[in-house]
Amino acid sequence: MEIIDGNQIAAAIVHELKAEVATLTGRQPCIALVRVGEDPASVSYVKKKQVMAAEIGIESRLILPPATIPQAELFALIDQLNADEGVDGILVQSPLPKGIDEVAVFRRIAAHKDVDGFHTLNLGKLAQEDDTGFVACTPAGIMELLRRSGVSLSGKHVVVLGRSLIVGKPAALLAVQRKAWANATVTICHSQTTNLPAITRQADVLIAAIGKAEFVTADMVKPGAIVIDVGVSRVPDATKKSGYRLTGDVHFPSVSPLCAKITPVPGGVGPMTVAMLMKNTVKARRLNQST
């Protein structure tokens, strides 16, 4: 069993991006990070995005509207950022407070600044295998993690657990692409799937993205499979100073001995998501080269 080290692979990407940014002429790339309210996980994720941006030489602008912001005002804020020639990428951290239509917010962001890849146009480009768009960061990070770990998906059965816009659907679209590193046979499972363990046990590569702590147990995994754990849940742990520990969608102690390769939580997919956001921001800067 090999543990795929997301921190190490993300660090290699940061190194590459730093060198690329140093060759850019004109102003630095710039990302606007919008965090609505004080969701503790979002506070931590946005902080990580700021830190990695600074390390690469990407400017980040932190915008912190209160959880009570009306949707119309959030739209107005996005419109301003869309019009701002000094901003290359816009990220609105999910989840948003109840009462705000998250998909409508993602659609409000100009497609050419949508470094999250959640806009209708970018998802359409992904389906059409048009590489001029932006691909959602977590699925892009998963594919990069697999590629750089020497895993070929071609002809393999990839089972994606979860059908979210942020991970499950775009991950499935990427894995099935007509690309040398993709070409997988893909099954998407979700809450209404019947006989789930029988399907997940067929997976050569299992991508778990449902956000349920330690849901995937040893009986659901084929020996020798590659397991990518996307979930991050906080579970109470009295031995920790914070009172909690982070765990994934996979019950790591029982599943990991079975696997050929597995990603840990934390330190697997998480840092890759942030690295791919930075990669998309540099791509946006190149698209926006006239300013």
Tell me which residues touch ligand GUN (CB under 6 A). 91-94, 116, 137-138, 166, 273
- Per the annotation, the verdict on 279 as an active-site residue is no
Would residue 219 show up in a list of annotated catalytic residues for this protein?
no
Q: Which residue lies nearer to ligand GUN by CB, 78 or 259?
A: 78
Question: Could you tell me whether strands 233-236 and 244-247 are parallel, antiparallel, or unpaired per DSSP bridges?
Answer: antiparallel
Burial class (CB in 10 A: 0-12, 13-18, 19+), 22: exposed
Helix (H, G, I), strand (E, B) or coil at 245: strand
The number of residues in the chain equals: 291
Instruction: Give me the catalytic one of 88, 113, 114, 116.
Output: 116
Residue nearer to ligand GUN on the CB measure, 116 or 214: 116
- Distance between CA atoms of 162 and 7, rounded to whole angstroms? 24
Q: Tell me the H-state helices in 97-167.
A: 102-108, 120-127, 137-148
Residue placing its CB nearer to ligand GUN in the complex, 74 or 199: 74
Strand 185-189 relative to strand 157-161: parallel, antiparallel, unpaired? parallel
Question: Catalytic residue at 101?
Answer: no
Start-to-end CA distance of the chain, whole Å, equals 49
Q: How far is the CB of 116 from ligand GUN (least distance, A)?
A: 5
Report which residue's Cβ sits closest to ligand GUN: 94
Which is closer to ligand GUN, CB of 168 or CB of 259?
A: 168
- For residue 254, the minimal CB distance to ligand GUN (Å) is 26
Three-state DSSP class for residue 228: strand
CB of 88 to ligand GUN, least distance (A): 16
Handedness of CA 129, 170, 121, 82 (dihedral sign): negative
Question: Active-site residue numbers?
Answer: 49, 93, 116
